[in-house]
A and B are shown apart, each in its own frame.
Chain A
């Protein structure tokens, strides 16, 4: 098996989440995956190139994958131009994902901002699919404006299993939900020594959220962040995604706890 060679998939659903974000459902042509929430796949737009995307699917889904793509560069632009029935290539699942066996029966707090929630959707659906998997789940999701919210059509489904706080940092006057940054809501909460946290967002957000969680008594080894780097090979060879103190985000991550990687290196070299 050549790990660089992608397998075929076909676009079978496209949903416009926001102006710049779309969610794709890609059905695998004659193969399946077993994945853990937090793992990612390299998606190839034929002739354009590959880019890594977190698997946003429900954990039980094996014959297709859901990815949420923000238009940012060549590949994401090309993905946005795809139509239903177009062919793509896929490699993965890659990376380690969240250690969900260790999360079993514990209190989980999921913190996502912006497009970062895509990396956490699978974990949220683990709670939805298996309501007794965790003892309790809180999801704090923040964006700036209401039009930035993604997955808005399924919050009701999430609420059947988790306590969901959707907060806007630049809410318009007519907004009737929560206001402020995610940290403002986390500050009001209390956590036990046994609480585990899953955090994904911009580097600055992951740093400030992690710092706050530690101040509130969550142990560093129980705080998991999902990092973004420029991954090319996805299998620990090309070294483009390396982070201090010497870990490949693609192979050793993209999910790390704060014992593996220290707070200061989340968003810098």
Chain B
């Protein structure tokens, strides 16, 4: 594709500075011993050497808690007749600068593509649209990974074509490969020497499994499979769905505005299928009653349902669900168990 260039490692902060002029930059930073995808104030905070962040791209595009709009409803007399009104202060357009996701791994960029399918299908989600508009995505190629990664079957270690920039780390330099016009523009502002485009290889330590493991998952197989020994261990902490970059289920509810009596916020909060409330119907009936059904539901949503609804899998193989599970439940072992 296009020609790449090389900058010394210590110049990386300059690239971040250039981006910060135009964008609100989110990048991996180290906090309390974990890597977090966070908005940054100082380019020196940014680190590109990490295996996985504790949060994912969806925590920015679909925040854990988001105020959608404020409203006030009431009635008034109009031409001798009573009519109702709802005054709305909509927050879908309140963003100052476009967002930049800097230094995310290619698998997370693929997660954005999946979320796009959900939130940009008609009717489009205006809150997602405004965050996604003019977003700059700079991925860092993942060379090592760890034993929890399983991006190889999904080929999600290869950046999607619509990212703006791909970075790859050498001993003491960073190779930058622009994928878009905006990517080129950003690089043109740096002092960089031309070089060959980086080779894209699967992360060395990622699990080498075949895609057929996922392709063969069917509704019947998942429903009838016995995974009770694994789901038994679940402590219902819901970490797997909180860290997953493609989990998008949410709840909508009202919250009073403490500063303006009579006004309410409509709030969106991420929801998890591992919670009891998730599938509770009016009157108290719960569809996903036990841990096993909730595990299976997550797998169905990621594979069977997503394939049916969006023509792709809702899993990018980032391995976070396994890595952050306090009960040590291995997602791949779970999938393999369902095959038996």
Contacts and interface: CB of A to CB of B under 8 A. Distances in A.
B55 interface: no
Contacts of A9: 84
Contact of A4 (B69, B121, B251, B296): B69
A135 B41 CA distance: 71
A22 to B, nearest CB: 15
Given A86-B75, A88-B73, A244 B300 contact: yes
A70 interface: yes
Contacts of B248: 237, 239
Contacts of A239: 118, 248-250, 301
Contacts of B251: 232, 238, 240
Interface string A65-94: 000001011001000000001111100000
Interface in B115-159: 118-119, 121, 123, 125-126
Contacts of A240: 249-251, 271, 278-279
A240 B278 CA distance: 7
B282 A2 contact: no
B281 A246 contact: no
Contacts of B118: 237, 239
Contacts of B250: 232-233, 237-240
A39 to B, nearest CB: 15
Contacts of B90: 2, 5
A232 B74 CA distance: 23
Contacts of B264: 46-47
B219 interface: yes
Nearest to B309: A246
B110 to A, nearest CB: 19
Given A2-B90, A7-B86, A10-B84, A245 B75 contact: no
A269 interface: yes
B126 A2 contact: yes
B74 to A, nearest CB: 6
A22 B125 CA distance: 33
Given A4-B69, A51-B282, A242-B301, A268 B121 contact: no
Given A228-B281, A239-B248, A8 B86 contact: yes
A142 B165 CA distance: 63
Contacts of B287: 229, 268-269
A262 B75 CA distance: 46
A48 B75 CA distance: 17
Interface string B279-320: 111110001100001001100110011111100000000000
B2 interface: no
B307 A246 contact: yes
Interface stretch (B12-20, B229-237, B252-260): B252-260
Contacts of B125: 3, 237
Interface in B152-209: none
Contacts of A146: none
Nearest to B255: A47
A170 interface: no
Nearest to B252: A232
The size bracket of the interface on B is 35 or more
A48 B308 CA distance: 35
Contacts of A86: 75
B32 interface: no
The size bracket of the interface on A is 35 or more
B327 interface: no
A173 interface: no
B82 interface: yes
Interface in A19-69: 29-30, 44, 46-51
Contact of B75 (A85, A242, A248): A85
Nearest to A75: B282
A246 B282 contact: no
B50 interface: no
B71 interface: yes
B7 to A, nearest CB: 40
Contacts of A244: 219, 223, 300, 304-305
A50 B281 CA distance: 14
A47 B84 CA distance: 15
Nearest to B73: A46
Nearest to A238: B250
A48 B296 CA distance: 32
Contacts of B254: 44, 46-49
Contacts of A245: 219, 304-305, 308
A242 B71 CA distance: 29
B88 interface: yes
Given A237-B248, A240-B271, 14 more contacts: A10-B84, A30-B83, A46-B254, A47-B254, A49-B254, A228-B282, A229-B287, A230-B279, A232-B271, A236-B121, A237-B118, A268-B287, A269-B287, A269-B296
25 contacts: A2-B126, A3-B126, A5-B71, A5-B88, A8-B83, A10-B82, A10-B83, A29-B83, A47-B256, A76-B282, A87-B85, A229-B287, A230-B279, A230-B280, A232-B271, A236-B121, A237-B250, A240-B249, A245-B308, A246-B306, A247-B308, A268-B287, A269-B287, A269-B293, A269-B300
Q: Which 5 A-B pairs have the closest CB atoms?
A: A246-B308, A246-B305, A87-B84, A8-B84, A72-B282
Interface of B: 68-69, 71-75, 82-86, 88, 90, 92, 118-119, 121, 123, 125-126, 219, 223, 248-254, 256, 264, 266, 271, 278-283, 287-288, 293, 296-297, 300-301, 304-309
